[in-house]
Amino acid sequence: MHTPLHSQVGSLLSYTHDQPLPAGTVVRVPLGQRELMGVAWAAPHAAALPPGVVLRPVAEVLDALPPLDAAWQRLVAFAARYYQRSVGEIVHTALPPALRKLTGEQLNRRLHAKKKPQVATQDAENSVALTAEQVSVCQQIAQHPGPFLLYGSTGSGKTEVYLHSVAQALQADPQAQALVLVPEINLTPQLLARFERRFVPRFGPQAVVSLHSGLTEAQRLKHWLAAHTGQARIVLGTRMAVLASLPGLKVVVVDEEHDPSFKQEEGARYSARDLALWRGRDAGAKVILGSATPSLESWYACQQGRYQRLDMPSRVAAAALPAVHLVNLRQQPKSTVFAPALLQAITERIQRGEQSLVLLNRRGFAPVLWCGNCGWKSDCPHCSAHQVFHKGERRLRCHHCSASQAVPRCCPQCGNPDILALGHGTEQLQEALAQQLRNVLRPDGQPARIARMDADTTQGAGQLQEQLAQIHDGSVDVLVGTQMVAKGHDFRRMTLVAAVAPDAALMSSDFRAPERLFALLMQAAGRAGRDAAFMRQQGSQAQMWIQTHQPEHALYQALQHHDYPGFARQQLQERQQAGMPPFVFQALVRSDAKTQDDAQKFLHAAAQQARQLPALAGVFIYPPIPLAMQRVANVERAQMLIEAPSRSALQKFLHAWQPLLHQVRQQHRAVVRWLIDVDPQNL
C-alpha cells in the first residue's frame, strides 16, 4: 500500500493482515515510530521477501468507509504516471487532510452522525425557459458522447446549459453524480447558490456540496464523505475536486476551461481540466468544457475532431455585447491615469444609477518605491522582485515570499525624503477615482461610492460575500479590482468596464501571455450589459474601455470586434510557425538551490544522462536557464525545457529519464528540491 504522508517513498510498502483487503480500502499502518493512514493498493506482482524480513501488520482497517472504487484508483494511477509523481503523493493530494487523522471509531461516528431528514419538494426553477441556442446545445449534449467545448459569448447562458445537462443525468439515474469545476474560490458561492436553488428542493439539503481550499478541514471532510458515499449528487469545486471520489459520476462540467488556475503550480502539478477529460472518458461520463474564450489547446482539439464544438454566440434576452472603445495613451499627457473621456463616461453611469468596473491586475498602491537621487528601489531582500507599496498599511510587502517592512521615511541609501511611488495598483486607482469623482452624485443625491476588490480586501472571513452583496444591491457605483472580479460574476447593474493598463502582458516572454490577456479582457467586457431589461430601462449601451499605447495591436483589434475565432486563428498560425504548443508537447525540469550555479549544475548533469537514452529520439532538450523570477525566499531557481513532437514520445522519454534524475540528485546535494512539470503553463 502507498503511504500518502510519505510520498517520497516511491514504491509500494507491504504489510500483513489476517484477511484479504480489497484494493482501495483505507487503513492505518505503522511507519517508523508513527501510525499513519494508507490505502490498500493492487500490487502488480507479489515479490519474494528478502531473508530475515518480517512484515508488520496493518494497525487498523477503516472498514466503516466503503473502499475507494476501481475508477478512482485508475484516475490516481494515471495522474501519477502522466505527471511523473508517486501514487502516494496523488493520494495525499486527493484525500481530505482530516481523514488522515481519524481512527476507525472516529470515522464511524462521523459516518453515522444523526443527519437532518432529506426533504424533497418540487423543483422551483423548472420553469426557466431556454433560448433556441440553449435548446439546440442541450439536445446535442444529450445525443452525442462528447467531449464538448461549449463556446458561448459572455452572458449567453452557459450556466443554464450546465444546470439542464446535470438535471438530465440525475433524472436518468438515481445513483448518478455530477462534478462541476470552477477556476477560483471566489466564483464558488454564486454558482453554488444557483445549483442549490435548482437541485436542493428536489434532492434534499445534502445533494449539493462544495470542495475547495477555503473550507475548514471538518467541512472538507464532511463534503468529501458525502461525495464518496453517494449522498451528494453534485460536487462543485476548484481544481482539487477533480480528484474527489465520485462512484456515480455521469457528467463533468469545467467552467471557464481556459483559466490557468486549473493547473496546480505546487506539489503534484496536475491539470484539473485535462484530468476531467481523462476521467470522463474512463467513466463514460459526458464532459462539457465551457468558455467564451477557449484555450487554444481546446480550440485546436475541436479543429482536429477530438472535441465537439457547440456555439452559443448570442446573449440571453437579446442583450448586446459591449462596444469596445480604445483610448490611445500616446495622445494623452504622460501622467494620465484616467483619460478625460473615460472619466466622463464613468460619471454619466454614476448619475444614471449604473455601475462601472475598473480593472487593473496589480494590487497595492504602487509596484515599487524609487529614489530619484541615488536610484534606490524597494527591492525584496529575499527575492528577485520589488516590495510593493501598500499605502493603507504603510508597509512594503513582497507578493512572492510575504516579507514586509514599514515604509521608510527617507531613502535608506542617501537620506532623500522625496521617495517616489512608481506605477499604479488598485489601491491607487481607488484613491484617484475617489478624488476625481468626489463631486459626482448618484440619482438619490448621495456622493459616488468607490469600492475595491482584490486579495487584500477579501482575505478576512466573509469579506468576499459582503463585498459581492454590496455590488449586487447597488451600494457600490464604481468597483476597482483585479482579475478576480473579471470573470464569472453576474453584476446586473454593470454597464461599463475599463482596463486602464493592460499593455504589460504584450511584452511578456511567455508565449501564452497574449492568449491570457485576450481572455481576461473578453471576460471583463462580459461583466457589462448582462441584464437586457435593465439596459432597456436605462436607455444605456454597454461599453468596454481600454487605455493602451498600442491601439493598432492585432489583439486589441480582434477584441474590438469580439472576434475570438480570428484571434485564435492568428495565434495558432504563430505557434505553428514557432513550434509551440499545441503543435509540440513540453515538460519542464526545475531545480532549486542556494546558488544559481548549483541549480544549473544539476540540470546540466541531468541533460548529460538524458543524451544516453534511446528514448531521446525526436526529443529536444534546451539548455538550463534561470526562471524569470530567479530568486524567491533566498532560493535560486533554474529550469530546463523539454520538447517532443508527440505526447507519447514525451512520456516515453520522461519515464526512461526519471530513474536517472533520482541518481543525479544524489550526486548534487546542494539542490534543495527538483521537480518535473508536464504540460507547463508558465515558462
The three-state (H, E, C) secondary structure of 388-434, written as one string: EEECCCCEEECCCCCCEEECCCCCCCCCCCCEEEECCCHHHHHHHHH
Residues of CATH 3.40.1440.60 domain(s) within the chain?
Answer: 4-111
Beta bridge partners of 201: none
Q: What is the pLDDT of residue 556?
A: 96
| Residue 302 in marked binding region | no
Across the beta sheet with 355-359, what order do the strands follow?
Answer: 323-328, 543-548, 494-499, 355-359, 478-481, 450-453
Best CA proximity match to 308, nearest among 142, 135, 132: 142
- Would you identify the CATH topology of the domain 132-316? Rossmann fold (3.40.50)
Q: Which amino acid is at 81?
A: R
Residue in this structure with the C-alpha cell 504602487, named with its chain if needed: 366
| Residue 383 in marked binding region | yes
Q: Which amino acid is at 451?
A: A
Across the beta sheet with 308-312, what order do the strands follow?
Answer: 208-211, 234-237, 177-181, 249-255, 286-291, 148-152, 308-312
Cα 354 from Cα 507, distance rounded (Å): 34
pTM, rounded to two decimals: 0.91
Architecture of the domain delimited by 319-363+425-576: 3-Layer(aba) Sandwich (3.40)
Q: What is the pLDDT of residue 111?
A: 82
Q: Which amino acid is at 629?
A: M
10 Å Cβ neighbour count for 81?
14
Cis peptide before 514 (omega within 30 of 0): no
Phi, psi of 351 (to 5 degrees): -65, -25
| Residue 374 in marked binding region | yes
| Whether 599 contacts 664, CB under 8 Å | no
Cα 159 from Cα 167, distance rounded (Å): 12
Cα 127 from Cα 116, distance rounded (Å): 28
| Residue 410 in marked binding region | no
Residues of CATH 3.30.70.260 domain(s) within the chain?
Answer: 585-678
Q: What angle do CA 174, 179, 183 make, to 5 degrees?
A: 165
| Whether 410 contacts 459, CB under 8 Å | no
Helical (H) or strand (E) element with 327: strand 323-328
Q: What angle do CA 348, 354, 356 make, to 5 degrees?
A: 80
613's CB contacts (< 8 A; 6+ apart) are 653, 656, 657, 660
| Whether 171 contacts 198, CB under 8 Å | no
CA distances from 617 to 83, 352, 623 (A): 21, 66, 17
Q: What is the pLDDT of residue 115?
A: 59
| Whether 232 contacts 206, CB under 8 Å | yes
Q: Write a three-state SS string for 560-609.
A: HCCCHHHHHHHHHHHHHHHCCCCCCEEEEEEEEECCHHHHHHHHHHHHHH
Helical (H) or strand (E) element with 203: helix 188-203
Cα 91 from Cα 167, distance rounded (Å): 30
Beta bridge partners of 632: 635
| Residue 380 in marked binding region | yes
Residues of CATH 3.40.50.300 domain(s) within the chain?
Answer: 132-316, 319-363+425-576
Architecture of the domain delimited by 4-111: 3-Layer(aba) Sandwich (3.40)
Q: Which parts of the chain have pLDDT scores under 50?
A: 1-7, 119-124
- Pairing label, strands 286-291, 249-255: parallel
- Would you identify the CATH topology of the domain 585-678? Alpha-Beta Plaits (3.30.70)
Q: What is the pLDDT of residue 184?
A: 86
Q: What is the pLDDT of residue 469?
A: 85
Cis peptide before 313 (omega within 30 of 0): no
Secondary structure letter of residue 238 according to DSSP? S
Cα 242 from Cα 257, distance rounded (Å): 13
| Residue 138 in marked binding region | no
In a 13 Å sphere around the CA of 594, the CA atoms on its Cβ side amount to 3
